Chain A
Amino acid sequence: MEEAIVAEGLVKVFYTKERKSLFRSVKRRVEALRGVSFSVRRGEIFGLLGPNGAGKTTTIKILSTLLLPDAGEAWVNGFHVVKEASRVRECIGVSLYSDRGFYWKLTGRENLRYFAYLYQMPRREAEKRINEVLKLVGLENDADRLVEEYSTGMKSKLNFARALLHDPPILFLDEPTIGLDPASARRVRELILEMKRQGKTVLLTTHNMFEAELLCDRVAIINRGRIVAINTPSELKRRVGRNNVVEVEALNIPPSAAEALSSVRGLRRIYTRIRDPASSMGELRLIFEDGVDDLGDVLSAISRAGMKVLSVKIVEPTLEDVFIELTGEKLGES
């Protein structure tokens, strides 16, 4: 089978209680997934990119057998995630949290040993593999310290090591670099690329577009429980078009900047990112229909709105531009 993971029309609905007062609560229906379909080829790194609450973790939990779908079907390594859940668990490694899910009063090595036995690995093989994964993630010198003494980065590495413990061909990584410092995040990214070199299939979720661009062979953009696009990062960016994005760095950007520039010819979308709220300094990203006709038109509209231009660049589109183009929302907004 060419595909390592196949999801077809996954639907998941949660019911939550909204506490209105001490004794009154109202039941609320939350549609986490609304017909998610995609497939991941063997040996590729596939990213689920979307804002918080888009349905990324729900998808990973269904694929890793921790959650049952309300509708739709999925197969991992050729096994059905509901009907053959135990076969699925044998061939996946899952990293769900960066710093939870360990026994604090056990050392890193003892934690791994416990899970190795639960993965039913023979003793000698388990010990060998524990040493291998500890070395791979760079924890060999801290393996015999209690986990309660580990930093967030070390716990994240240990989490990664646990996912690799039984040498699974498929890895699910939920926000693998969240909360990590740049050096630790870089190390985790290197590890993910190393897994690809070893021939493993990786499904990762992220809301970090830089990470998605850097790591993923293909990306699925997910928003409000629906996949809105799937392709390679470069193909996705082609949807926005080269030379269609203008980035303006400016001062005094007003909240109504988008409205003020709406009259600019050929402008399809605009969004702002304020970097310094005190001076309202930040960037305007303008996405045009078909290239930029006249930068002068843009600049005069900007100065009419009272903004002071610091720099203007025609830039390559990013995955965030693609996301906005497809959903009309920013990555952090959903």
Chain B
Amino acid sequence: MRLGGGASFLSTSLLKVLRELCAAAYVGVRIYLRYPMWILSDLITSPLWAVVILLPILLFLPPEAWGSGVVAQNFFWGMVLWYVVSTSLMGIGSAVRSEQQMGTLEQLLLTNANRAVLFTRRLTFELFSLTLNTAYMYVFVQLLFGKPITVENPLPVLLVLAAAMAIAVGFGLIYGTLILWIKNPGALSNILQFVIMGLSGIFYSIRGLPAPLQYISYALPFTYVADLLRHEAMGTPTLLPLHLEYLLVAALAVALNAAGYLAILHVEKRLKRTGKLGVY
């Protein structure tokens, strides 16, 4: 297809999306690397926050149990899942806000680029950050507890992590759409993060929650990811039969991404009707 004064365009939509993903990843990494203070801050603050979260939990145990391998394992995988939830809310959801503030949102929507790709601009960087933080936490937790972090089934763990990221992207797209609509989320990201961490059993099994709260937990997608991850990494029992839980996670990943994509298109159209697209 030739357009305008003669620019030629790729014809297959898959290649187009890949090209857009590459461009988005390139911009995300370039911008991040131009804020060196962020890299330094991330390296220092990650273990500090880990300590701030870990110590209050340890206070419920007798001091002689503080070095327990089970606690170390629970804590390590909890931190990994926390990064996944943060990626969803802060990395993907809040990226929309930054485009609004920079005044680039309308310019982006003037292109025919895939809307989901535009909103997941930071995904590549978030994946990189997740890998780095996981490795970093792996070393940190082992040093802190003096116990090795073992993984019972490495390949399924990787598979669950990939599914977790897919769910995070879908959930992030839905959350990003909400921000696109309401503009300034205020403290919503922080509140949601704690709600999800508390009710999805990020650091512990939801079986310990009061029964009414468990019903909410069963409705949250991250509950199944956390449960499967602990099962594959630590051998804990699952909430649902294993195959059913895998099936559910896969279905959730597809459904959330599809819902997120449709939500973006719907809200974009709605904002174009109300004239609030460029408002920030």
Contact = CB atoms under 8 A, between A and B. Distances in A.
Given A86-B112, A120-B19, A121-B7, A162 B31 contact: no
A72 B112 CA distance: 24
A210 interface: no
A12 B275 CA distance: 9
B6 interface: yes
B104 interface: yes
A66 B106 contact: yes
A1 B168 CA distance: 48
A274 interface: no
Contacts of B24: 114
B4 A168 contact: yes
A331 B273 CA distance: 28
A125 B110 CA distance: 20
A89 interface: yes
Interface string A92-136: 101011001111111000100111011111100100010000000
A64 interface: yes
B7 A125 contact: yes
Interface string B109-139: 1111100001000000000000000000000
Please classify the interface of chain A as helix (H, G, I), strand (E, B), loop, or mixed, using the class held by over half of its residues. Answer: loop
A79 to B, nearest CB: 11
Interface stretch (B8-16, B44-52, B149-157, B244-252): B8-16
Nearest to B19: A117
B31 A105 contact: yes
A200 interface: yes
B3 interface: yes
B109 to A, nearest CB: 7
B198 to A, nearest CB: 32
B4 A166 contact: yes
B37 interface: no
Contacts of B269: 68
B144 interface: no
A199 B19 CA distance: 30
Contacts of B19: 117, 120
B278 A66 contact: yes
A114 B112 contact: no
Nearest to B277: A66
Contacts of A168: 3-5
A167 interface: yes
Contact of A68 (B26, B30, B272): B272
Contacts of A113: 23, 26
A117 B275 contact: no
A67 B275 contact: yes
Given A86-B112, A167-B7, 19 more contacts: A66-B277, A67-B273, A68-B272, A68-B273, A96-B106, A102-B103, A106-B27, A110-B30, A117-B22, A118-B23, A118-B118, A119-B113, A120-B9, A120-B20, A122-B8, A125-B8, A146-B34, A166-B7, A169-B4
